[in-house]
């Protein structure tokens, strides 16, 4: 009859390896391939939802790897999920939370797949389950990380000409401070007021380096610095936020709503980079955003360089937050040589267009999925 509950029938994981269009040099890793976990959840009514769990550089960015995430999902989460109400996403994730600590990125993949399925069942975009949209496009930064200033400047000029990006995030912290500052100053000099230049240190600086670095970054014309010190050093992050005019953004320190509250209460940042992966899914990321909003902290839609699946899910959420003053960096799919979706996400006029189909609003091309699956490849390259 009508009251029969739709249940979770099947949970599948896929590890994909996606070559990047150029090397991507970060403080802790140089990427030539991005590896991701996709989760496909099939419900008893046949509706399928997709989610993504992605990290950067194996275990160099965080404590989860794609291999570990697939194992955590297959071995520990899937048995908890089978037979549960497919529409009761909060209840399902609460059950997972009782038996699985941490593992936020793996939880994100599962939670997103459940949210996608629930929204598809209703025939609405996922943004409709989070209060509806206040925008249908959003500013989208690009990361310049070729490792060379001249190549980065040429890349930025091309992207400005194409009207694709006018916000550039520079990855620093690998070289000596003076070299990094010279690199940033050269890029800002070349781009002038045509672009916002921001930097991500990925926790690489000591507090002493950060003090010198933030002063020099402000002088060089950078607008924002992301996670200059280690995630454990909240007091230092708060001190830097107070002491320097440049905006300080929290990234690695934020792993869900409890961290968001702790950082907000300590005055630990001017801006939050909200990431679905680090937060544990779309719902937890919405709570992180709500805490920022209540605390008067600026919002930025962060990425872990996801495929179109995780990117679209993030766009659905960031379409609903009233103020997104710092835009987003949802460029992930543009860094890959291969397209996974049947129709690529659209980037126009310096913005990402929020897809408006049901659920996350994008669909995976099954042939491309097969091509990119690690278990279907002859050689593994990580
Ligand atoms: C990070 O730390 O923010 C996002 C963009 C990018 O290039 O790297 C990331 C991860
Ligand atoms: Mg970052």
**Domain boundaries in the chain?**
8-124+366-376, 128-353
Q: Is the pLDDT of residue 380 over 80?
A: no
Counting ligands in written order, the one closest to the CA of 330 is: 1
Q: Which residues line ion ligand 2, judged by CB < 5 Å? A: 200, 226, 251
275 is catalytic: no
For residue 378, what pLDDT is reported? Answer: 57
Q: Is the pLDDT of residue 382 over 90?
A: no
Q: What percent of the chain has pLDDT over 70?
A: 98
Q: Is the pLDDT of residue 379 over 90?
A: no
For residue 4, what pLDDT is reported? Answer: 87
CATH architecture of 128-353: Alpha-Beta Barrel (3.20)
Q: Is the pLDDT of residue 25 over 90?
A: yes
CA of 61, closest atom in ligand 1: 2
283's tokens: 């719902």
Angle between helices 257-265 and 282-295 (to 10 degrees): 10
For residue 121, what pLDDT is reported? Answer: 98
Same fold, 8-124+366-376 and 128-353: no
CA angle 306, 221, 183 (to 5 degrees): 65
Q: How far apart are CA 84 and CA 92, in angstroms?
A: 7
Q: Is the pLDDT of residue 341 over 70?
A: yes
The whole-number average pLDDT for the span 316-321 is 99
The residue whose CA is least distant from atom 9 of ligand 1 is 304
Q: How many residues does the chain have?
A: 382
* Gap from CA of 303 to ligand 1 centroid (Å): 6
Please tell me if the CB atom of residue 251 comes closer than 6 angstroms to any atom of ligand 1: yes
Q: How far apart are CA 187 and CA 156, in angstroms?
A: 9
The residue whose CA is least distant from atom 6 of ligand 1 is 143
Q: Is the pLDDT of residue 66 over 60?
A: yes
For residue 147, what pLDDT is reported? Answer: 87
The whole-number average pLDDT for the span 83-89 is 98
For residue 343, what pLDDT is reported? Answer: 98
* Gap from CA of 79 to ligand 1 centroid (Å): 33
Active-site option among 107, 171, 174, 275: 171
Counting ligands in written order, the one closest to the CA of 249 is: 2
Please tell me if the CB atom of residue 143 comes closer than 6 angstroms to any atom of ligand 1: yes
* Gap from CA of 149 to ligand 2 centroid (Å): 20
Q: Which of 303, 328, 332, 336 to mutate to test the pocket of ligand 1 (most atoms within 8 A of CB)?
A: 303
The whole-number average pLDDT for the span 17-28 is 95
Per-residue b or e along 48-72, where b marks 16 or more CB atoms closer than 10 Å to that residue's CB: bbbbbbbbbbeeebbebbbebbbeb
Query: pTM of the full predicted structure?
Result: 0.97
226's tokens: 């992301």
The whole-number average pLDDT for the span 237-243 is 98
Q: Is the pLDDT of residue 206 over 80?
A: yes
Please tell me if the CB atom of residue 200 comes closer than 6 angstroms to any atom of ligand 1: yes
Under a CB-based contact definition with an 8 Å cutoff, are residues 301 and 327 in contact?
yes
CA of 331, closest atom in ligand 1: 5
N- to C-terminal Cα separation, the chain: 49
For residue 2, what pLDDT is reported? Answer: 61
For residue 249, what pLDDT is reported? Answer: 99
CA angle 303, 310, 342 (to 5 degrees): 130
* Gap from CA of 355 to ligand 1 centroid (Å): 22
Please tell me if the CB atom of residue 305 comes closer than 6 angstroms to any atom of ligand 1: yes
Instruction: For residue 273, give the nearest of 294, 297, 239 by alpha carbon.
Output: 297
3-class DSSP assignment, residue 337 = coil
Please tell me if the CB atom of residue 329 comes closer than 6 angstroms to any atom of ligand 1: yes
329 is catalytic: yes
Q: How confident is the model at residue 67 (pLDDT cuts 50, 70, 90)?
A: very high
pLDDT, one tens digit per residue, over 153-173 is 999 999 999 999 999 999 999
- As a CATH number, domain 8-124+366-376 is 3.30.390.10
* Gap from CA of 83 to ligand 2 centroid (Å): 37
């Amino acid at each position: 009859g009508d009251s029969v509950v739709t249940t979770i029938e099947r949970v599948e994981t896929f590890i994909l390896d996606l070559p990047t269009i150029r090397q991507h040099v970060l403080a802790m890793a140089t990427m030539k391939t991005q590896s991701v976990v996709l989760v496909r959840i099939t419900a008893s009514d046949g509706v399928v939802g997709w989610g993504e769990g992605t990290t950067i550089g194996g275990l160099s960015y965080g404590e989860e790897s794609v291999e570990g995430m697939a194992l955590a999902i297959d071995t520990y989460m899937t048995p908890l999920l089978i037979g549960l109400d497919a529409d009761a996403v909060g209840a399902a994730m609460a059950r997972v939370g009782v038996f699985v600590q941490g593992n936020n990125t793996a939880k994100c993949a599962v939670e997103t797949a459940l949210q996608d399925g629930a929204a598809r069942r209703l025939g609405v975009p996922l943004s409709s389950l989070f209060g509806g949209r206040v925008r249908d496009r959003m500013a989208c930064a690009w990361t310049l990380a070729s490792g060379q200033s001249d190549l980065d400047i040429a890349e930025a000029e091309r992207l400005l000409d194409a009207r694709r990006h006018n916000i550039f995030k520079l990855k620093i912290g690998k070289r000596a401070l003076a070299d990094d500052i010279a690199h940033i100053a050269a890029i800002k000099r070349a781009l002038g007021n045509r672009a916002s230049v921001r930097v991500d240190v990925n926790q690489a600086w000591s507090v002493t380096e950060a003090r010198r670095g933030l002063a020099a970054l402000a002088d060089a014309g950078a607008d924002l610095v992301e996670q200059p010190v280690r995630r454990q050093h909240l007091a230092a992050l708060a001190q830097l936020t107070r002491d320097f005019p440049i905006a300080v953004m929290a990234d690695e320190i934020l792993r869900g709503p409890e961290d968001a509250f702790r950082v907000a209460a300590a005055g630990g940042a001017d801006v939050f980079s909200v990431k679905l992966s680090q937060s544990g899914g779309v719902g937890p990321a919405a709570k992180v955003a709500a805490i920022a909003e209540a605390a008067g902290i600026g919002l930025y839609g962060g990425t872990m360089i996801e495929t179109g699946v995780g990117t679209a899910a993030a766009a659905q959420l960031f379409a609903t937050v009233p103020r997104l003053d710092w835009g987003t960096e949802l460029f992930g799919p543009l860094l890959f040589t291969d397209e996974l979706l049947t129709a690529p996400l659209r980037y126009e006029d310096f913005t990402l267009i929020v897809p408006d189909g049901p659920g996350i609003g994008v669909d995976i091309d099954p042939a491309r999925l097969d091509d990119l699956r690690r278990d279907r490849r002859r050689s593994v390259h990580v």
